[in-house]
Amino acid sequence: MKNFFMSSYLWKKRPAYVVAILAMLMALSVIINVVEAFKFADLQFSFTIAVMALIGFAAGPVAGFAVGFFGDLIGFFINSGGYAYYPWVGISTGLFAFVAGLLAMKKSGKTYVAYIKLGVYSLVTFVLCTVLINSLFYYLAFYKGTLGFFDYVIMRVFLKLQFVNSLVNYALVFIGYAVLRVVKPLSFLFE
């Protein structure tokens, strides 16, 4: 149960090491939330999904969620782009890391199982975070009464090409797994 709060790798380390790792992950989260490739109202192209997956693998579900949520919040304060802060975007960002942390709680020695988990991560986070949380908020905030919810989802995800951002990020998650699991200093993510 303790792995629900923090990854088993971090539980084995001294508190100072844990704080240092979480601080580095928070810095990475802030950077990825400050440096957006493209953002316009409800359309965003960034590498947040891929980075949050890495953070979830490293930190675990609850710690990953906290790093993702507060990284989004601090990133907003640094570079708001003139927009208002929307906490549900931070919740969605944290959930990307939370789901990755959940799937990483039980490690498997079989590579194909890891790829199945990455596929589950991609499907679950796309539906939960991209389609439901983010799209529902933007629909309620800006489009309710002018479009039906499913019409808005089709417009946002497909016509406004939000799915391209998701596909690129999920491809990076798969590629990142294949590469990082053989890099000695980072192999702890996949033990």
Strands (E), the chain: 38-40, 43-45
The length of the chain is 191
Q: What is the mean pLDDT of residues 113-121?
A: 93
Residue 155 three-state SS: helix
114, 72 contact by CB (below 8 A): no
Q: Within 13 A of 47's CA, how many CA atoms are on the CB side?
A: 15
Q: Give 45's strand partners.
A: 38
pTM of the entire predicted model: 0.90
Q: What is the mean pLDDT of residues 3-17?
A: 89
Supply the mean pLDDT for the chain: 88
- Work out the pLDDT band at 180, boundaries 50, 70, 90: confident
Nearest partner of 122 among 185, 173, 48, 181, judged by Cα = 173
Q: 123-169, pLDDT tens digit by residue?
A: 999 999 999 999 999 899 888 888 899 999 999 898 888 898 899 99
Instruction: Decide which of 102 and 37 is more confident.
Output: 102
